[in-house]
Amino acid sequence: MPNWCYNFATINCPSREVYEKFLDSIVLNTWFETFAPLGLDSEKPEGGWDCDKAIEVWKTKWAARDVEILNQYDDDLLLEIRFETAWTPPTGVYSIMNKEHDIEVTAFYNEVGCDFFGRCVYSKEKEIDEFFNHPSNKKELEELRKTISNELDDYMSFTWEELEERWKEEGQENGENQEFEKNEIERWEW
């Protein structure tokens, strides 16, 4: 069973046709296969799945699950979605969507089981993936918040609250360098 990586993405499509295709892929639960196919047709492995190929192409083990459209701006061809992926964010999918379909993506991710989070941007001008480890005490959190963007800090606010509460309970609020089980942090409500 994987750790689940929680993702939020803003998807900006270049045309009505691409926008409708993206919406259809969400409804049909074929988003990754539609926009970043694994190319397994001629060499389908037993069971129809190739985990290594998925990790190579999508940068995650399986397709997105529990995809939810939070906001849909039809006139602007823009969607805000949240979803889960196995272990890591689907940066390979974002990159292919941008390069092959001119779709711009700004995404945030948080993997509480493996203690990392970040932000990535895929546009004509840039391809960025800002990756950070979770802090282990309040002092590290304060330093980290000086480094990350306001958008990423806002995205992580519920996790920061959970961590600070945990540190307070364990007597670590003043920045003592004690480790704790972050795996126990419950998934926040989106």
pLDDT at residue 67 greater than cutoff 90: yes
Per-residue pLDDT tens digits for 93-122: 999 999 999 999 999 999 999 999 999 999
Do 111 and 140 reside in the same domain of the chain?
no
- What residue type is 25 in one-letter code? S
Q: What is the mean pLDDT of residues 21-38?
A: 96
The two beta strands, 116-122 and 127-133, are antiparallel
Which secondary-structure segment (H or E) carries 69? strand 65-73
Confidence of residue 180 (pLDDT cuts 50, 70, 90): very low
Nearest to 80 by CA among 22, 33, 125, 132: 22
Instruction: Tell me the average pLDDT of the chain.
Output: 89
| Model pLDDT, residue 163 | 94
Residues of the domain holding 159: 135-190
Nearest to 182 by CA among 130, 133, 149: 133
Higher pLDDT, 48 or 160: 160
Ranges 36-40, 123-127, 159-163: which has the least confidence: 36-40
Do 117 and 36 reside in the same domain of the chain?
yes
pTM above 0.75, yes or no: yes
Q: Which among 104, 133, 162 is the end of a domain?
A: 133
Confidence of residue 182 (pLDDT cuts 50, 70, 90): very low
| Model pLDDT, residue 83 | 98
Question: Which CATH number is 103's domain given?
Answer: 3.30.70.1270
Q: What is the mean pLDDT of residues 20-27?
A: 97
Do 59 and 82 reside in the same domain of the chain?
yes
Q: What is the mean pLDDT of residues 158-187?
A: 69
Per-residue CA distances from 61 to 19, 30, 35, 85, 172 (Å)? 25, 15, 16, 8, 35
Domains: count for the chain: 2
Nearest to 122 by CA among 148, 103, 108, 109: 103
| Model pLDDT, residue 177 | 44
Do 103 and 144 reside in the same domain of the chain?
no
Per-residue pLDDT tens digits for 116-159: 999 999 999 999 999 999 999 999 999 999 999 999 999 999 99
| Model pLDDT, residue 43 | 62
For residue 65, list its beta bridge partners. Answer: 84
Do 34 and 57 reside in the same domain of the chain?
yes
Do 18 and 72 reside in the same domain of the chain?
yes
Report residue 30 CA to chain centroid gap: 17
Nearest to 105 by CA among 133, 130, 79: 79
